[in-house]
Structure 1
Amino acid sequence: METNFNPTRKQKTNTGGVLLGFSRIFVGVLFIFSGLIKANDPTGFGYKLQEYFHVFHLGFLNDYSTWIAVLICGFEIILGAFLLLGFYARKVAWGLLFLTVFFTFLTFYSAFFEVVTSCGCFGDAIPLTPWQSFSKDLVLLVFILIVFTYRNRIRPLLPKGSTRSLVAALVVILSFGIGVYTVYFLPFIDFLPYKEGNNIPELMVLPEGKEGDVYEYIYEIKHKTTGETKKVTDKEYMNGIWEDENWEVVGEPSTKLVKKGYQIPIPDLLISDADGNDVTQEIITNPYYNFIVVSTYADNLSTADIIALDRINSTIRDLSTDYNLRAVLLTASSSQVAMGLNDEMDLVLETFYADAVPLKSMVRSNPGILLLQNGVVIKKWSKITFPSKEELEKEYLAK
């Protein structure tokens, strides 16, 4: 009896198995890593989603951006974990393909039209430009297409039954639970410049020996007699052209980045009082304990936020009678809104103003609290984790 043996077919089968195995591990691990990084800070990812909502005129979704971020992060983790475990292979393959094609389009659109400067794919931990993210998505798409092509070969690591269902349920609960937890209790790992232990004043200046971005100024000049116009760099202009009375500058000079330099971690923090006076250094270099209560937009506070702010205010009021400390409210709201809130709640907090961008980076909670001393961030709390008077005394003030 003859046996038909086709070594070429066996070789193709082995090659497909190797490609599938590697692709499953690569895609699965990358999706889990990406999902976990963003789930560590879904509020920050939500801010990034708001930029995309603005571009595509979907501003009505802004109020739900954080919870949309939680869902996206959760699905990323679930798809990655299920791919590694071999659960629901066909559905997972379709999910991976759809999600990656969608984000590939999104990152290409962002890069080509220069509408979003950072994609947020790996949160603030690993900032990527839209072009870098688009390139990453193209590479990822290749491996996902391999998974999709060979999806029928994927076999689950656990047999069908109660054990597999239990593991799948735990994966789903953990995937969404991580994001929900960090929304209320702040990120596990803080990748922002206002993290605990950082010295804020030091991060606002260019360190000695470091060079910032180098720009070139481009002037458009016009010959008074011939009407000829041309563009010259600032060096060319200063190299004798400025002395020639036949040439005149037209309009304002443009700038061009020549060399990327050291990026100051906190370049945009400006704190002012109601009269517009700069009080930044006064606030952040206070040698005593300094409670900074951050409320990005006081006019957007929900009922739960108001209750939390009242509790924070009451605790600080009780502390201020016994200890030499300062407490301020930082907000991006108008002075009218802030003063109205102050009158309504009888705030003990001094009210100051800053742009919403640095306030969102200070603490991922609205309201949120920072404890500073000599410009150093001692501790951060969300609106629901701010301790009682007794706990604050024991841990910080009574020492």
Structure 2
Amino acid sequence: MLKNTAILLVRLFVGGVFIFSGMIKVNDPVGTAIKLEEYFDVFSNDIASFFHIFKDIALPLAVFLVVLEVVLGVMIIVGSRLKWTLYTLLALTVFFTFLTFYSAYFNKVTDCGCFGDAIKLTPWESFTKDIILLVLLGFLFIFRKDLGNNSPTWASWTTRVSLVLSFILAITAIRNLPFIDFRAYKEGVNIPEAMLPSAPLQYEYVMTKDGDEFVFESYPMEDGYEFVEMRLVNEDALPKITDFAIWNSEGDFTEAILQGNQVLILIANSRKLNVADLRKMNDLVEELANSPIQVSLIAASSQEEIDALMRQMKWDIPTYQGDATVIKTIMRPNPGIMLLQDGTVLKKYHHRNTPSGYDVKSLYVQ
């Protein structure tokens, strides 16, 4: 009885972790694809060059993995093909454990993206989480004969429904925007405020004396102490945004872009840009011309590429350069639109949902 209860509790916990992890990433498959690209870059440089080819299929691979996480989590809970599910979960967890250990030990990818942007884990925290899952899955593996392998009809249908729903949600998130935005540039955020500490930063000083370690709130003035390190006490007070910058050949325009009414057309990669998607914004650009709302284009491209794109589009709007990682963080689609008013994010749009000039004007407080 006790053994069966323990098995059930472990199944519920493991399944819950996989469902939660998968659903967070189903909400934003493009973010998962970006994280996979980081891993493929690292592996292509450190292990084998062929990993680079996987970057071209990062998005479909991301959809497959996030949906698989959800479905496996559901299967282990409802009891659908338990032995097969257990072996698959073990293989998947071993794979993730290798990734997180590699990232932690060699300090390669500082955030595994295990829980998307909702919960940030350090590489070693991610590795510890995977080790715990491995231990729990190992427990189930030891008692695998007690799991059985008969799938109740309702469990099979629950699995199918979870597969279809999670896949539909993932595709919808790709074709629009994430349902829930966990990023620092979500709607309602004031970027200038987010670039400042939320409270005065507090530090503590670690010192040693006669072989003993001491911690002080301020630097000790007494002789005999040897400095070890200075540690930040309130890390939660650090700025949520530290890398937002906009510039062009004339200089830095970060401060200017965070003032007034701004419509920013964001392009993370002009070489992967479908110009037809950009043309969907033609009416918006024309309707906002000569209005109090400034339309600008920001791209992670060279000035020559941006100028060529403007000639092709026949647009006469200010253009700026930005960091590709920052733009991808702000906007998942390529291209996308962000509305700012005095640095506050009013709204973000996928290029498929480009608003009219009238709709944009109605959002700004006059």
TM bucket, shorter chain: 0.7 to 0.9
Partner letter of residue 77 of structure 1?
V
Residues 1:125 and 1:214: Cα distance change in structure 2 (over 3 Å): farther
Aligned 1:166-315 pairs, distance under 5 A: 166-211=157-202, 258-260=230-232, 261=235, 262-275=237-250, 277-286=251-260, 289-302=261-274, 306-315=275-284
Partner residue of 2:38 out of 44, 51, 67:
51
Describe the superposition over 1:174-231 as per-residue Cα deviations: whole angstroms up to 9, x where unpaired. 1222221111211111111111011011111234523489999xxxxxxxxxxxxxxx
Describe the superposition over 1:129-165 as per-residue Cα deviations: whole angstroms up to 9, x where unpaired. 11111111111111112223334433689733xx555
Q: Does the 8 Å contact 1:55/1:115 carry over to 2?
A: yes
Helix, strand or coil: the match of 1:320?
coil
Partner letter of residue 272 of structure 2?
N
Shift of 1:316: 2.3
- Unpaired segments ≥5 residues, structure 1: 1-13, 217-234, 240-255
Q: Does the 8 Å contact 2:188/2:345 carry over to 1?
A: yes
Residues 1:109 and 1:379: Cα distance change in structure 2 (over 3 Å): same
Aligned 1:101-116 pairs, distance under 5 A: 101-116=94-109
Shift of 1:116: 1.3
- For 1:344, the equivalent position in structure 2 comes to 312
Shift of 1:64: 2.2
Partner letter of residue 195 of structure 2?
M
- Give the count of matched residue pairs: 340
Question: How far apart are the structure 2 equivalents of 1:213 and 1:328?
Answer: 44
Question: How far apart are the structure 1 equivalents of 2:329 and 2:156?
Answer: 40
Structure 1 residue 126 corresponds to structure 2 residue 126: no
TM-score (norm 1): 0.79
Structure 1 residue 89 corresponds to structure 2 residue 82: yes
Q: Does the 8 Å contact 1:85/1:157 carry over to 2?
A: no
Question: How far apart are the structure 2 equivalents of 1:298 and 1:214?
Answer: 47
Structure 1 residue 17 corresponds to structure 2 residue 4: yes
Partner residue of 2:337 out of 344, 347, 369:
369
Question: How far apart are the structure 1 equivalents of 2:338 and 2:299?
Answer: 14
Q: Alignment identity in percent?
A: 36
Helix, strand or coil: the match of 2:262?
strand
Question: How far apart are the structure 2 equivalents of 1:213 and 1:345?
Answer: 55
Shift of 1:44: 1.5
Q: Does the 8 Å contact 2:79/2:155 carry over to 1?
A: no
Question: How far apart are the structure 2 equivalents of 1:180 and 1:98?
Answer: 26
Helix, strand or coil: the match of 2:280?
helix
Partner letter of residue 388 of structure 1?
S
Question: How far apart are the structure 2 equivalents of 1:210 and 1:398?
Answer: 34
Structure 1 residue 355 corresponds to structure 2 residue 329: no
Q: Does the 8 Å contact 1:119/1:128 carry over to 2?
A: yes
Helix, strand or coil: the match of 2:295?
strand
Question: How far apart are the structure 2 equivalents of 1:215 and 1:297?
Answer: 45
Helix, strand or coil: the match of 2:112?
coil
Structure 1 residue 396 corresponds to structure 2 residue 360: no
Q: Does the 8 Å contact 2:27/2:180 carry over to 1?
A: yes
Shift of 1:389: 3.4
TM-score (norm 2): 0.86
Residues 1:88 and 1:269: Cα distance change in structure 2 (over 3 Å): same
Q: Does the 8 Å contact 2:22/2:67 carry over to 1?
A: yes
Aligned residues: CA RMSD: 2.6
Helix, strand or coil: the match of 1:56?
helix
Helix, strand or coil: the match of 2:252?
coil
Residues 1:55 and 1:398: Cα distance change in structure 2 (over 3 Å): closer
Structure 1 residue 326 corresponds to structure 2 residue 299: no
Structure 1 residue 383 corresponds to structure 2 residue 351: yes
Shift of 1:83: 1.0
Residues 1:328 and 1:36: Cα distance change in structure 2 (over 3 Å): same
Shift of 1:342: 0.6
Partner letter of residue 355 of structure 2?
P
Question: How far apart are the structure 2 equivalents of 1:112 and 1:320?
Answer: 53
Helix, strand or coil: the match of 1:21?
helix
Question: How far apart are the structure 2 equivalents of 1:119 and 1:81?
Answer: 23
- For 2:137, the equivalent position in structure 1 comes to 144
Question: How far apart are the structure 1 equivalents of 2:205 and 2:316?
Answer: 45
Q: Does the 8 Å contact 1:49/1:69 carry over to 2?
A: yes
Stretch moving more, 26-35 or 258-267: 258-267
Residues 1:295 and 1:102: Cα distance change in structure 2 (over 3 Å): same
Stretch moving more, 334-343 or 59-68: 59-68
